[in-house]
Amino acid sequence: MFPRARAFVFWLMVLALVVPSGALRAESGAGPAPLPEPPVTVPAAGMGTLHDALQLARADQADHPAAIAGFQRLAWEFGTPLYIYDRATIIGQARLVKEAFGARFPRLKLFYAAKANTSLAVMSLLRQQGLGMETISGGEIIAALRLGVPGPDILFTSSSKSPWEIELALREGVLLNLDSLDELAQVEVTAARLGTTARVSFRVNPGVDPHTIHQINTGISESKFGLHLAGGAALAAYRRALRLRHVQVVGLHCHIGSQITDPEGYVLAAGKVLEFARELKEQLGLQLAFIDLGGGIGIPYHDGETVMTPADLAAALQPIWQKGIARLGYEPTLWLEPGRFFVAPAGFLLTRVNSVKTTPVKTFINVDAGFNTLVRPAMYQAYHRVRVIGPKNRVVKADLAGNVCETGDILAADRMLPRPQPGDLAVILDAGAYGFAMASEYNSRPLPAEVLVDGDEVEVIRGRGRPDDLFRHQRIPGSW
């Protein structure tokens, strides 16, 4: 064989080893020639849809033939690791919140906390449900604008806004939720230069502990977020803002944390915020257009776990809200901005088993995802349910270990799981929030693809990263 021919065959073999089956087809642009038919069972008519496969996994029936066939189909067509989102679940979660609060709060406006999942397709689905967009960065503002969301339906709540982000928000009519007196001064100067008036609210810190994970507990006094109600900092900020020529104060904002599973913290915070609104009216003559109580509605991450529902939260908030507005003398619009609740249950991270290793201490199931793909377990010690796709063989106690060169790269620790074989699939549940949004290219591993399932239809909504992407912004100085 000629040297060039041998080299060509060699690189074909390497490509077959390093690129997951179907991965190239998950990229944008033309794909390669069709691959051979997959050695998997294709769902027969009536066996079920891809949506059914996802729900079977949630119900701990990953050994069901429809679940096996569905996940094998997804892995074959799009490769692994793969983020999968279920359209029906996203819409259903949004409707739960709308119905629960709409029945008790006639003056209501809902936003989606886009940081939870910034995929345009996901944001678009929630926009179609009538939600505004709560954003944390200029990039998220631009994403919302690309979807056609008008500025007044975008809320910008970062605690550290860069000058270009402030200018972008002002040019587009976005409402700025301010976190400090320095930000207020910067907004006034920029608005004056642009010849416009900034619509603003202030984020206040109520000093309430909602008893959630420390890193996402934002309502406590030591948090970096908000102007403290205690001590008068928040009142002083409103007083100063009312004296400025290019600022219009329209609202009041409070967000006490994420993954909150009990309404008590919300009720305490709402009571404090409503009382502060009364102070603003009595001392400054300010009547607010809205009061934003933030988001943070939690979900059950464990099998059999019972947590607060949107209906529970709405019922708990209604009495304190009615009491507060009675004392206030008027009713502002209630704003809410959930994120995780809408998208987490809709998301699945599909990963392939590379190897299984038993040491004198424990068994490791090594997969092709890592904390570069899903960082929550490593960052927050967060728990995600795991299902091994296939027959429930001999169960072993094992760690689901990632492919990152870190001892802490454990996606699930000490789980009783069916012992898989190399090449088998596992799926991580409730991965729709803070999954891809927090993913990285650490260890020079390209980003995963994302797909959206609608019944038995599936579409790529973000193509799989390629090795070349790792170097797209890098340069070697020419003088070297």
Contacts of 306 (CB under 8 A, 6+ apart): 300
Is residue 76 within 8 A of residue 303, CB to CB? The reply is: no
For 260, what's the count of Cα atoms within 13 Å in the CB-facing half-sphere? 29
Q: Which of 205, 115, 122, 155 is nearest to 333 (CA)?
A: 155
Strand partners, 124: none
Identity of residue 27: E
Residue 158 tokens read as 């970062």
Catalytic residues: 405
